[in-house]
Amino acid sequence: MLLEVTNLVKSFGGIRAVRDVSIGIPEGSLSSIIGPNGAGKTTFFNLLTGIYKPDAGTINFDGRSLIGLRPDQVNKAGIARTFQSIRLFNNMTVIENIMVGMHSRLDISLRHTLLRTGHFKRQEQLVHEKSGMLLRFVGLAGKGDELSKNLPYGDQRRIEIARALASDPKLILLDEPTAGMNPQESADAMSLFRKIRDELGVTVVLIEHDMRVVMGISEHINVLDYGQKIAEGTPEEIRTNPRVVEAYLGRRAVGGKADNDSAA
């Protein structure tokens, strides 16, 4: 397992957002976490990435515990993420936004920057080459100098993913990456998620409500409900699991969005 979470607990006052959740993510896998609104999915990501500290439980990643690490330290350890609502610097260009994601991997002191040393110039060159590569990788070649805010929604999501990849993660956590996308954008996004795993070797975990995406690309699915893990399995096992159907998938045939979700 690249990531092994055991008995994770997080409460906010009286709300038990995550209750005793244990999830293992194998290296090189592509999986999803699903569940109704308020099930604890985003809180789970926030616990993994150091935004919240768990009340109890363990989080082991790539051979070390992440408990007590700050978000920047978790990022340095090899986990990158995107957020449910797009968080870009709107008045920066696409390429500048991608460069921001690289800062945790750079080794430039203020002295090097002020003196524009050879080391600084080599790092700067590296940043330009890598951000250009990522721009092409996510399908935004030729758009590097545009302001992020001027790009369509689906492209802005791609910038976020490129920024996350810029930190050279071993694991990328994507929080509702296709929310608000039209069907064509979602289909294109699915290809990108596969490419991230297949070509970059990065392990991918999605929180996702769109069942076409979840069932279409996940090798494994974990299901949360009221902060608890109620099921895990292959798409076929999850699709036919009575408890999951009851809690989340509803009576609607799986293939579209789940009944009880209107936000996705």
Kindly list the residues in this chain that would bind ligand ATP in the complex (CB under 6 A): 12, 15, 17, 35, 37-43, 84, 263
Among residues 236 and 246, whose Cβ is nearest to ligand ATP?
246
Residue placing its CB nearer to ligand ATP in the complex, 155 or 208: 208
Choice between 19 and 105, CB closer to ligand ATP: 19
Give the separation between CA 217 and CA 32, rounded to whole angstroms: 9
CA distance 154 to 151: 8
Choice between 115 and 263, CB closer to ligand ATP: 263
Q: Which has the closest alpha carbon to 99: 78, 74, 76, 125?
A: 125
CB of 213 to ligand ATP, least distance (A): 14
- Environment class of residue 42 by beta-carbon count within 10 Å: exposed (0-12), middle (13-18) or buried (19+)? middle
**What's the rounded Cα separation, in Å, for the pair 126 and 133?**
11
Our CB check for ligand ATP shows the closer of 137 and 248 to be: 248
* Closest separation in Å from C-beta 248 to ligand ATP: 10
- How far, in Å, CA of 205 to CA of 32, rounded? 5
Judge contact between 41 and 33, C-beta under 8 A: yes
Minimum distance between the CB of residue 46 and ligand ATP, rounded to whole angstroms? 7
- Cα–Cα distance, 105 to 243 (Å, whole number): 43
Q: Which is nearer to ligand ATP, 60 or 84 (CB)?
A: 84
* Cα separation, 202 vs 199, whole angstroms: 8
State the nearest-atom distance from the C-beta of 261 to ligand ATP, in Å.
Answer: 7
Q: Residue 225 corresponds to which amino acid?
A: D
CB of 104 to ligand ATP, least distance (A): 24
Least spacing, CB of residue 257 vs ligand ATP, in Å? 12
Quote the least distance from Cβ 249 to ligand ATP, whole Å.
14
What lies within 8 Å, CB to CB, of 121 at 6+ separation is: none
Residue 57 tokens read as 């439980």
Between 187 and 264, name the residue whose CB sits nearer to ligand ATP: 264
- Give the span between the Cα atoms of 88 and 152, in whole angstroms: 13
Q: Identify whether the C-beta of residue 214 lies closer than 8 Å to the C-beta of residue 34.
A: yes
Rounded to a whole number of angstroms, the minimum distance from the CB of residue 37 to ligand ATP is 3
* CB closer to ligand ATP out of 120 and 226: 226
Say if residues 246 and 226 touch (Cβ distance below 8 Å).
no
